[in-house]
Amino acid sequence: MQVASRFGLSVALTTPFDASGRIAIPLMTAHAQACLDAGCSSVTLFGTTGEGASVGTAERQPVIDAMLAAGIPADQLVAGVLVDAAEDAAEQSRQALQRGARNILLAPPSYFKNVGDDGLFGWFAAVFAALGPLARGMLLYNIPSVTTVQLSLGLIGRLRKAYPGVVAGVKDSGGDWAYSEALLKAHGDLIILIGDERHLAPAVRIGGQGAISGMANFAARELRAMIESGRDDSRVEGFVLELLRRPVIPAVKAMVARQAGDERWLTVRPPLEPVALQERQQLGAAYDRLFATQAA
């Protein structure tokens, strides 16, 4: 399948919660628009950075509807689906696709361990069958550090051959450059996106179409420049290492809170816990130190 244009940069949008634990929808829509204004080409809702595994099916539709009501076009929305039951995956996908979402970021099931390609193929096939004619724009999500499942190149090939109008691409958050490089060589005519920002520029140079990135919540301009130029940015690479020294999702929220001057962003849903004040201060100091210098 040939793609018409580069996917670009999608922010893996953080999800703000109010004091009672509900999604703070107005704050979320305002942040989505700010990320688009900063250079993102689309917004990914309910992904890993957005604590999508903690956001229930009934909570999602009001968020999508609010994004549309705020003037964000449906074709600038991607919805993450991070569940185990094929029925639930289909329902969450259906909500977004019926509203015109550009893509679904679909992770494999993660509860059962040591599953093979045949079983994974059957699970994805069940999701697509449940969606019927709605099925389209599926970005297969390779994130083995979370799911313990690495999507093999063979499985991706089987799925795209069986569902040529459905499987649109792969988001690779494995952090393994050898895999990313092999993925691009084998399936580079699909939308191949990188989740580990350290590998973004090298991937773009050999055909990668962009990224769905948590760092785009606070560093969209720098990441977009990497996608447009294919040039490495040592500041971005250095700050990824700082994030990885901490629980990444709360750390990204800490950076959004710092940039926005709004501590509401610090709230995470259990079982996650916020980053401690000292860690937030160290993270902020590292950001200032790195981004005060020019890219190498």
Residues 6+ apart with CB under 8 A from 20: none
CATH number at residue 197: 3.20.20.70
Whether 129 is covered by a domain: the verdict is yes
Residues at the binding site for pyruvate are 49, 212
Q: What are phi and psi for residue 158, nearest 5 degrees?
A: -60, -45
**CA 74 to chain CA centroid, nearest Å:** 17
pLDDT in tens, 22-38: 999 999 999 999 999 99
Cα separation of 90 and 92, whole Å? 6
Is the CB of residue 256 less than 8 Å from the CB of residue 280?
no
Active-site residue identified among 161, 171, 179, 287 = 171
Of residues 139, 129, 127, the one with CA closest to residue 102: 139
Whether 137 is covered by a domain: the verdict is yes
| Structural domain boundaries enclosing 121 | 8-229
What is the H or E stretch that residue 170 is in?
strand 167-172
Whether 124 is covered by a domain: the verdict is yes
> pTM (2 decimals)?
0.95
What is the H or E stretch that residue 169 is in?
strand 167-172
Question: What is the domain count for the chain?
Answer: 1
Q: Is 171 a catalytic residue?
A: yes
Whether 118 is covered by a domain: the verdict is yes
Residues at the binding site are 49, 212
- DSSP string covering 17-68: B-TTS-B-HHHHHHHHHHHHHTT-SEEEESSTTTTGGGS-HHHHHHHHHHHH
Q: Is 253 a catalytic residue?
A: no
Whether 160 is covered by a domain: the verdict is yes
**CA 135 to chain CA centroid, nearest Å:** 19
pLDDT (tens digit, 0 to 9) for every residue of the chain, 296 residues total?
Answer: 333 478 999 999 999 999 999 999 999 999 999 999 999 999 999 999 999 999 999 999 999 999 999 999 999 999 999 999 999 999 999 999 999 999 999 999 999 999 999 999 999 999 999 999 999 999 999 999 999 999 999 999 999 999 999 999 999 999 999 999 999 999 999 999 999 999 999 999 999 999 999 999 999 999 999 999 999 999 999 999 999 999 999 999 999 999 999 999 999 999 999 999 999 999 999 999 999 865 44
Whether 296 is covered by a domain: the verdict is no
pLDDT in tens, 133-187: 999 999 999 999 999 999 999 999 999 999 999 999 999 999 999 999 999 999 9
Active-site residue identified among 111, 113, 141, 161 = 141
Whether 294 is covered by a domain: the verdict is no
Whether 57 is covered by a domain: the verdict is yes
